[in-house]
Amino acid sequence: MTGTTSTAPGVPDTPAVTAHPRRWLALAVIAISQLMVILDATIVNIALPHAQTDLGISDADRQWVITAYTLTFGGLLLLGGRIADFWGRKRTFLVGMVGFALASAVGGLAQTGGLLFAARALQGAFGALLAPASLALLTVLFTEARERARAFAVYGAIAGGGSAVGLVLGGVLTEYANWRWCLLVNVPIAAAALAAALPLVPESRAHGDTRYDVPGAIVVTAGLVCLVYGFTKAAEDGWDATATIAFIAAGVLLLAAFVLLERRSTHPLLPLRIVLDRNRGGAYLTSTLIGAGLFAAFLFLTFYFQVVLRYPPAKAGLASLPVTAGVLLAAGLASQLLPRIGAKPLMVAGTLLAAGAMLALTGIDVDTSFVAHLLPAQFALGMGLGFAFVPLSSLALVGVPEHDAGAASATLNATQQVGGSLGTALLNTMYTSAVTGYLSSRTPNPLTQVQALVHGYSVAFAWGAGLVLLATLATVLLVRVRKQDLATGGAVHLG
Q: What CATH number should be reported for the domain holding residue 98?
A: 1.20.1250.20
Q: Is residue 276 included in any domain, yes or no?
A: yes
Distance between CA atoms of residues 435 and 108, nearest Å: 30
One domain for residues 319 and 354: yes
Q: Is residue 95 included in any domain, yes or no?
A: yes
Distance between CA atoms of residues 302 and 171, nearest Å: 11
- Among the candidates 242, 268, 294, a domain finishes at 268
Helix/strand/coil for 397: coil
One domain for residues 221 and 116: no
- Among the candidates 149, 172, 203, a domain finishes at 203
Task: Indicate the number of domains in the chain.
Answer: 3
Distance between CA atoms of residues 12 and 15, nearest Å: 6
Range(s) of the domain holding residue 366: 271-495
One domain for residues 252 and 279: no
One domain for residues 235 and 115: no
Q: Is residue 222 included in any domain, yes or no?
A: yes
One domain for residues 365 and 308: yes
Question: Which DSSP letter does residue 403 get?
Answer: G
Distance between CA atoms of residues 319 and 4, nearest Å: 23
- Among the candidates 203, 228, 259, a domain finishes at 203
One domain for residues 279 and 414: yes
Distance between CA atoms of residues 139 and 119, nearest Å: 31
Distance between CA atoms of residues 221 and 208, nearest Å: 27
Q: Is residue 11 included in any domain, yes or no?
A: no
Give Dmax (Cα) for the chain: 75
Report in angstroms the alpha-carbon separations of 454 from 48, 366, 462: 18, 7, 12
Give me the pLDDT at residue 207, please: 65
One domain for residues 361 and 419: yes
Contact 419, 402 (CB under 8 A): no
Q: Is residue 9 included in any domain, yes or no?
A: no
Contact 351, 290 (CB under 8 A): yes
Distance between CA atoms of residues 150 and 152, nearest Å: 6
Among 190, 97, 85, CA closest to 137 = 85
Give me the pLDDT at residue 472, please: 96
One domain for residues 93 and 232: no
Give me the pLDDT at residue 10, please: 44
One domain for residues 150 and 51: yes
CA angle 426, 52, 312 (to 5 degrees): 105
109, amino acid identity: L
348, amino acid identity: V
Query: Where would I find the H helices in 185-320?
Result: 186-200, 214-237, 242-264, 272-276, 278-303, 313-319
One domain for residues 120 and 240: no
Handedness of CA 327, 413, 115, 258 (dihedral sign): negative
For helices 89-109 and 113-141, what crossing angle results, to 10°? 160
Note the Cα 205 to chain centre separation in Å: 27
One domain for residues 73 and 169: yes
pTM of the complete model beyond 0.75: yes
Contact 69, 84 (CB under 8 A): no
One domain for residues 309 and 445: yes
Distance between CA atoms of residues 102 and 100, nearest Å: 6
Among 454, 26, 421, 7, CA closest to 200 = 26
Report in angstroms the alpha-carbon separations of 254 from 11, 68, 250, 419, 420: 33, 18, 6, 17, 19
Q: What is the pLDDT along the chain (495 residues), one digit of tens a residue?
A: 444 444 444 444 444 446 677 888 888 888 888 888 877 777 888 999 999 999 999 988 998 998 899 888 888 888 888 788 778 889 999 999 999 999 999 999 999 999 999 999 999 999 989 988 887 787 778 777 677 767 776 776 676 667 778 888 999 999 999 999 999 999 999 999 999 999 988 887 766 656 778 888 889 889 988 998 898 888 888 898 999 999 999 999 999 999 999 888 887 888 888 888 888 889 899 999 998 998 778 889 999 999 999 999 999 999 999 998 998 898 889 888 888 888 899 999 999 999 999 999 999 999 999 999 999 999 999 999 989 988 887 787 777 765 666 677 778 888 888 888 899 899 999 999 999 999 998 888 889 999 999 999 999 999 999 999 999 999 999 988 776 665 443 333 322
Give me the pLDDT at residue 308, please: 96
CA angle 345, 296, 75 (to 5 degrees): 85
Q: Is residue 5 included in any domain, yes or no?
A: no
Give me the pLDDT at residue 8, please: 42
Q: Is residue 189 included in any domain, yes or no?
A: yes
Distance between CA atoms of residues 178 and 217, nearest Å: 36
Q: Is residue 12 included in any domain, yes or no?
A: no
CA angle 64, 5, 376 (to 5 degrees): 75
Contact 459, 235 (CB under 8 A): no
Handedness of CA 217, 218, 220, 225 (dihedral sign): positive
